Amino acid sequence: MNHKATPIRQNLRIILAITGKDILDALKNKTTLTALITIVFLVVMYKFLPALSSDEIPFAFLYDAGHSVYTQALEDSNTLNVRVYDSFAVFEERFRVHADAELGLVLPADFDQTLAAGGIPQIQGYVLHWVSAEKTEEQRLDLENRITAIVGAPVRITMEGGTLTMLPESHGGYLVSAGAVVVVMMLGMVLIPNLMLEEKATKTLDALLVSPASSGQIVIAKALAGLFYGLAFIVMAFALNASFIIQWWLALLAVLLCTLLSIALGLILGTLIENRQQLILVANVIMFPLLIPIFLSWMTDLIPAWLISIMNWLPPVATSQLLIFSFSEQPVLNQSLPRLGLLLAVVVALLAWEAWLVRRADR
């Protein structure tokens, strides 16, 4: 039994030794360290970017349960931008699909009567589950003041029981999902190739190829080194955006597979390319068609449906969609499992290709 376990321990020792070396080399190399710092900046930027683009005139989804005479005044106001829906069912569905951090408002059936009697009408407010309590309270008070000024009498917005979750096809959280995929793809396609180019320059890779390490062990070790930094950024991104995620298993699995995919691409680029000038050119050529569809796939009014259907099955777009699914409480396994299968198949194919490239270089 011990004799059978020995090769396994030897393989692990070799793999972990190469992995540890690569992790430390990334921190010592100025180029890879700059790439790591840039990726940290992107993670933080995608978190706070929406806050920088807030409108001066607030937007609100509105359903008027009693056909109030004040609804038209709310629509015509230059201090408030509202979109009115004819039924609560449509209001709720549109809010869950299209809302970002805005509030939804439902005017009660007795809104006009309460105002006429000198009372304070209670407007039911709605918000998506990931919006912070501080942001919600800030918007609630702001809308109360604006609506009070429009109708000429005090109103009160209550948020109790008004938290809604997103639907699988929701647009809210799109920037978070897109940003996560961009960061993960950049990590693998910038960090890993630069690390391998440094090894080529110092002849470290040549030494590995003539060492007892096999091509498979080298590939696994470098993938693990990339995964080490990938997991660090995944933890950071999830910590900043944890409020979005409801289905954690789906979010973790999707980002893990996407990280492995980007690492595999980075290993292939690092093996095939001989200098950084080539890397910059080739990486840009590859990353543009991989990442731009993430943003184009949401432009359903501008892009033909058949083209969007094709883009939806590109691995980065599929990952972005899986993250959006994880922001909803609905599992939609019929859409999630095929996309997870696609990512897994592409990861296996790319790692197998990289192992073949390393084995050929060894010969």
Of the residues 106, 137, 164, the one at which a domain ends: 164
For residue range 97-156, list pLDDT tens digits in order.
999 889 999 999 999 999 999 999 999 999 999 999 999 999 999 999 999 999 999 999
- Residue located via tokens 């190399």: 29
Average pLDDT for 221-248? 84
The C-alpha atoms of residue 3 and residue 337 are separated, in whole angstroms, by 40
φ and ψ of 91, to 5 deg: -55, -50
CATH code of the domain containing 113? 3.40.1710.10
Whether 132 and 61 map to the same domain: the answer is yes
Q: Verify that 120 and 236 share a domain, yes or no.
A: no
Share of the chain above pLDDT 70, in %: 88
Which range, 15-19, 35-39, 230-234, 266-270, has the best average confidence (pLDDT)?
266-270
Reference 186, options 62, 99, 283, 95; nearest CA is: 283
Bridge partners, 63 (sequence order): 85, 106
Higher pLDDT, 7 or 93: 93
Last residue in a domain, options 117, 141, 164 = 164
pLDDT value, residue 205: 59
Question: What sign for the dihedral angle of Cα 11, 227, 248, 239?
Answer: positive
| Final residue of a structural domain among 136, 164, 192 | 164
How far out from the chain centre does Cα 255 lie? 8
**Residue 282 contacts residue 197 (beta carbons within 8 Å):** no
| C-alpha to C-alpha distances, 99 to 85, 134, 170, 302, nearest whole angstrom | 14, 18, 8, 20
16 with 80, same domain: the answer is: no
What integer pLDDT is reported at residue 354 of this predicted model? 83
Are residues 306 and 180 part of one domain? Answer: yes
| Tens of pLDDT, residues 74-104 | 999 999 999 999 999 999 999 999 998 899 9
Tell me: do 200 and 323 sit in the same domain: yes
Domain interval for residue 302: 2-50+171-362
DSSP string, 73-119: HHHH-SS-EEEEESSHHHHHHHHHHH-SS-EEEEE-TTHHHHHHTT-
Apex CA 240: angle with CA 284 and CA 192, to 5°?
A: 30
pLDDT confidence tier of residue 300, bands split at 50, 70 and 90 = confident
Q: Give how far Cα 158 sits from Cα of 94, 328, 341, 346, Å.
A: 20, 24, 44, 49
How confident is the model at residue 1, as a pLDDT? 46
Give the type of residue at 236.
M
Considering the domain architecture, whether residues 143 and 186 belong to the same structural domain is answered as no
For 60-73, how does the pLDDT look when each residue is reduced to its tens digit (9 = 90+)? 999 999 999 999 99
Q: Residue 317 carries which side chain, given as an amino acid letter? A: V
Do 127 and 192 have their domain in common? no
Task: Count how many domains the chain has.
Answer: 2
**% pLDDT > 90, the chain:** 45
DSSP letters along 174-234, please?
Answer: HHHHHHHHHHHHHIIIIIHHHHHHHHHHTTHHHHHHTSS--HHHHHHHHHHHHHHHHHHHH
- Could you tell me the pLDDT band of residue 190, with boundaries at 50, 70 and 90? confident
The per-residue pLDDT for 317 is 94
Same domain? For 277 and 299 the reply is: yes
Instruction: Report the range out of 26-30, 270-274, 311-315 with the highest average pLDDT.
Output: 311-315
Q: Do 129 and 188 reside in the same domain of the chain?
A: no
Q: Tell me how crowded residue 166 is: count the other CB atoms within 10 A of its CB.
A: 24
Residues 29 and 139 in one domain: no
- Do 35 and 122 share a domain, yes or no? no
Mean pLDDT value across the chain: 85
How high is the pLDDT of residue 303? 85
Task: Tell me the average pLDDT across 323-329.
Answer: 94
pLDDT of residue 213: 65
Q: Which residue has the higher pLDDT, 305 or 86?
A: 86
| 306 and 332 within one domain | yes
Name every residue whose Cβ is closer than 8 Å to that of residue 147 and which is 6 or more positions away in sequence. 74, 80, 123, 155, 157
Residue 239 has pLDDT above 80, yes or no: yes
Predicted pLDDT at 363: 53
